[in-house]
Amino acid sequence: MPEIEIRPAVSEDIPKLVALDHTCQTEYVWQMERQLEEGQIGIGFRQVRLPRSIELDYPRPPELLQQGRFNRLALLVAVMGGNPVGYVRLKDDVIPGVAWISDLVVDALARRKGIGTALLLASQHWAIQHSLRRTILEMSSKNHPAIQLAAKLGYEFSGYNDHYYLSQNIAVFFAQFLR
């Protein structure tokens, strides 16, 4: 297996990152159920298998990276064989003491090789170096591969926003306290 290098992005990386395949395939989604009763509100998510695999578009236009409109504090790049194959974007100005991971992308041809894991672990290391105590990872409730990765790495469900993305997809948030 080729070695994965994680490093801060440089301006020459941006066009290559924009060109990565940002879509993902899934056979499962998280379906939200809401129960409203007097004096109580119940929100639940359950994993639902779809009748067929679907391709999900990325919730943000990747071209925003190129236009410099992707506000970020850190942009880490995964490199294999000298080529960028993924990235993670972090911010620390959303919630005090928290590294907000708003974008985690691995090119379709490079998936299932540990790159997403390496990027998230590097994000946690970056957060610790910047004296942050928690990371929050956001994703669409339809992005089952990302939800599975978050669970594998010990992230816990911490909330949702049903009007977060322009596509009107539900955003789900997973958090992890750092040591």
| Bridge-based pairing state of the strands 171-177 and 156-161 | antiparallel
Q: What is the pLDDT of residues 19-74, one digit of tens each?
A: 999 999 999 999 999 999 999 999 999 999 999 999 999 998 888 777 654 556 79
pLDDT of residue 138: 96
pLDDT over 90, % of the chain: 81
Is residue 2 pLDDT above 80, yes or no?
Answer: no
pLDDT of residue 92: 84
Q: How does residue 1 score in pLDDT terms, banded at 50, 70 and 90?
A: low
| Dihedral pair phi/psi, residue 161, rounded to 5° | -145, 120
Q: Quick one: which of 58, 21, 53 has its CA closest to 140?
A: 58
pLDDT of residue 179: 77
pLDDT of residue 86: 98
Is residue 101 pLDDT above 60, yes or no?
Answer: yes
Q: Quick one: which of 32, 63, 27 has its CA closest to 46?
A: 32
Question: Can you list the domains of the chain with their CATH numbers?
Answer: 5-22+58-177 (3.40.630.30)
With beta carbons less than 8 A apart as the criterion, state whether 44 and 36 touch.
no
Q: What angle do CA 120, 121, 125 make, to 5 degrees?
A: 115
pLDDT of residue 64: 79
